[in-house]
Chains A and B, each alone.
Chain A
């Protein structure tokens, strides 16, 4: 039962990265692909109706983690204290940027919030990459299941570790590039004209960079935590996810060069979903890997609430999740096609 909830939490986090990821990506590219005010409005129109709902997947995934693995939530959030507040403050700034920008027609006001949007989107993408890398590398859990991490130590990725080191920053940059591809394919799909061309162009060369960096990041992971891939052979799911990521890259190339925007977006979606899925499959059963004390790891076996509670919660969680997916589909259907501007973010 705890393993099923591990899958639910991991799945919801993946959906969060896929959905909010495209609007993070669009946010990073915002000032770059959209040069004029009408173009900027179209970028905001493209993400306007979605971003808030997308971000809810993070809160909902946090809720699922709290429900099933409160020890992990307690140890993780207090252990990463500073980093969490940086994330919170960026989320606040980003939400304000999107919501406040369009209320006032003044060019300086809009330019200011556009820059806030770019900066916070970039930082958040970086932080989320760093966060995943911290979970993969491990944190200094004590025997009673707590830890406290400083922002950085000597950047060596060896104990004593900090939140930032060469490995976590590398993964953070990789995440930024991946979300730029994802945001680029999304904007290419939802816009037209120069805007679409620029989005495609950026997505193309970022995808090339990503393809070159992927083996390198994989090597880095093996170097930082050699046993991470040890169980790879015995976990068919991990193999399936890697295949999905590889297929995503292929689709991305095909879509971006053949002008099939929907296919390209499906490609970046597959790539990110595959990588996160493979990571979750390799990390299982640990939610927080202990380093240097592996025995202190918080796992599905020692961090979950009793099975009876988990089973009871499933009865309402599954319908709720279906409802949430229903909203996503409904919104996507209402706003399908390319934006022409003036629908959402463009209001004064």
Chain B
């Protein structure tokens, strides 16, 4: 098939999933926040916690709706753009996608409307139950998707045939793929961090403006603590373990992430530098000696393979992007720990809510986790190249061979147009909610509508 078509198929999937994931990455973490806020409200009977929960449920509702509509194309695209992959790996990954629909989507969709609009119709405990159902549903959904991705990264539990297709021989091994467990924990920690940064940013904004201070202090304090815990968990143990798994199972990906062309012991970790693929070296590097050996294999002397150890046809096909994605993720992750660490110190010293420069930093830092998460997924997906199922099927063999490049480009442009409009509408709606703030304790929004005229 012409490579041009392959490029558009890849770009369309990359674009639609990247845009889609901006929404669930927040809602999964936010679901945890809402459960906590409602639990505290139930225990303390302090209505300001209820106000905080109600405010975040409204933001959650808008995010969730956009997550649902941008997520619809994902399942379809396995068939439309990756038909040969679906035929080849479908007997295995069809399981997790079916599981997601049955156990996660039904749960989420049934309780979403009740959570967002139903507070007046039910008891406080029942409404808390709805938030718990959304939390469980969205995290289950994440596990099934991560498990699907983990099979593509590190196939387990399969055998060949009949026909030119895989078959599932060990469902337990497939569902408990160690890669899936690690990636899930890493991913969920990042989701909680994203929600923490967003909640903290809105809270810091209110505190800077001296609006809604009583409610804002409550959710900002919670966000800062959860933000530090989750940012630390992203790096250690989950990120660290994930890197070790990459070193073991995808050595070429690790070499490309680090821009390492030569093999050898005492491998240093690159803090900064530019991969020069044509000359096969890293230009202007600043490295910490022995650190990569230690992080990947546990001793400073361990051998770490460079790209030179692998045939060129098995190299990831975009080494530069992979290298920079990885370093952007790791760099921002470090910054996130530092910022939330400072904010937590200030919180426990009872100075956070008065320290304006720190509030400014929190208010402006919310894009960091979004960028880091996107870069992280790019690292995972580019690192897997040139395989769509690692070691079993090349990406070039997985696309829909009967769909022309121009057709894929046309639908990609369609998605870009739609997502642009969706993004604008989303920002506007969320902006209105933030501007309106954690409303008066009056139940529901009729009062707010009347107040706004």
Find the A residue at minimum CB distance from B164: A144
Asked if B109 contacts A52 (CB within 8 A), the reply is yes
Cβ-based interface call for B57 (8 A): no
Find the A residue at minimum CB distance from B168: A309
Cβ-based interface call for B277 (8 A): no
Given contacts A66-B78, A92-B422, A105-B452, A309 and B167 within 8 Å (CB-CB): yes
Which residues B177-227 have CB closer than 8 A to chain A? none
Query: A63 to B100, alpha carbons, bound, how many Å?
Result: 8
Asked if A74 contacts B90 (CB within 8 A), the reply is yes
Contact of B69 among A49, A91, A348 (CB under 8 A): A91
Find the A residue at minimum CB distance from B449: A348
What is the distance, in angstroms, from B260's C-beta to the closest C-beta of chain A? 38
Which residues A311-340 have CB closer than 8 A to chain B? 312-313, 316-317, 320-321, 323-324, 327-328, 330-331, 334
What is the distance, in angstroms, from A24's C-beta to the closest C-beta of chain B? 15
Asked if A48 contacts B402 (CB within 8 A), the reply is no
Asked if A309 contacts B62 (CB within 8 A), the reply is no
Asked if A53 contacts B402 (CB within 8 A), the reply is no
Cβ-based interface call for A84 (8 A): yes
Cβ-based interface call for A82 (8 A): yes
Q: Which of under 10, 10 to 19, 20 to 34, or 35 or more describes the interface residues of B?
A: 35 or more
Mask: chain B, 57-83; 1 = CB below 8 Å from A; 0 = not: 000011001101110110110111101
Asked if B117 contacts A48 (CB within 8 A), the reply is yes
Contact of A52 among B62, B101, B113 (CB under 8 A): B113
Query: A95 to B71, alpha carbons, bound, how many Å?
Result: 11
Given contacts A74-B84, A79-B402, A320-B99, A52 and B68 within 8 Å (CB-CB): yes
Asked if B113 contacts A49 (CB within 8 A), the reply is yes
Given contacts A313-B95, A348-B449, A324 and B106 within 8 Å (CB-CB): yes
Asked if A305 contacts B107 (CB within 8 A), the reply is no
What is the distance, in angstroms, from B26's C-beta to the closest C-beta of chain A? 16
Asked if B97 contacts A63 (CB within 8 A), the reply is yes
Report the stretch among A54-62, A178-186, A239-247, A287-295 that lies at the interface: A54-62
What is the distance, in angstroms, from A123's C-beta to the closest C-beta of chain B? 15
Given contacts A66-B98, A84-B80, A330 and B110 within 8 Å (CB-CB): yes
Chain B residue numbers with a CB within 8 Å of A52 are: 68, 109, 112-113
Chain A residue numbers with a CB within 8 Å of B350 are: none
Asked if A347 contacts B446 (CB within 8 A), the reply is yes
Cβ-based interface call for B86 (8 A): yes
Query: A75 to B402, alpha carbons, bound, how many Å?
Result: 10
Asked if B113 contacts A48 (CB within 8 A), the reply is yes
Find the A residue at minimum CB distance from B104: A56
Given contacts A66-B78, A74-B84, A324 and B414 within 8 Å (CB-CB): no
Asked if B103 contacts A323 (CB within 8 A), the reply is yes
Find the A residue at minimum CB distance from B106: A324
What is the distance, in angstroms, from B136's C-beta to the closest C-beta of chain A? 12
Find the A residue at minimum CB distance from B65: A99
What is the distance, in angstroms, from B227's C-beta to the closest C-beta of chain A? 28
What is the distance, in angstroms, from A316's C-beta to the closest C-beta of chain B? 7
Chain B residue numbers with a CB within 8 Å of A306 are: 91, 162, 167
Cβ-based interface call for B445 (8 A): yes
Asked if B80 contacts A60 (CB within 8 A), the reply is no
Cβ-based interface call for B94 (8 A): yes
Cβ-based interface call for B165 (8 A): yes
What is the distance, in angstroms, from B270's C-beta to the closest C-beta of chain A? 41
Asked if A317 contacts B429 (CB within 8 A), the reply is no
Cβ-based interface call for A262 (8 A): no
Query: A105 to B411, alpha carbons, bound, how many Å?
Result: 33
Query: A337 to B98, alpha carbons, bound, how many Å?
Result: 33
Asked if B100 contacts A96 (CB within 8 A), the reply is no
Chain B residue numbers with a CB within 8 Å of A324 are: 102, 106
Cβ-based interface call for B42 (8 A): no
Query: A347 to B57, alpha carbons, bound, how many Å?
Result: 14
Query: A81 to B408, alpha carbons, bound, how many Å?
Result: 9
Cβ-based interface call for B448 (8 A): yes
Contact of B402 among A92, A146, A321 (CB under 8 A): A146
What is the distance, in angstroms, from B400's C-beta to the closest C-beta of chain A? 4
Asked if B76 contacts A92 (CB within 8 A), the reply is no
Top 7 A-B pairs, shortest CB-CB distance: A70-B90, A77-B79, A348-B449, A63-B98, A320-B102, A60-B101, A78-B83
List, sorted by A's number, 17 A–B pairs whose CB atoms are closer than 8 Å: A48-B113, A52-B112, A63-B97, A66-B86, A67-B95, A67-B98, A74-B86, A77-B76, A85-B411, A92-B70, A92-B72, A96-B69, A313-B95, A342-B446, A347-B445, A348-B446, A348-B448
Known A73-B79, A73-B90, A78-B402; further 19 A-B contacts with Cβ < 8 A:
A49-B118, A52-B68, A59-B101, A60-B102, A63-B100, A63-B101, A71-B87, A81-B403, A81-B407, A88-B73, A99-B69, A104-B432, A305-B165, A306-B167, A320-B103, A327-B106, A327-B107, A330-B110, A348-B446
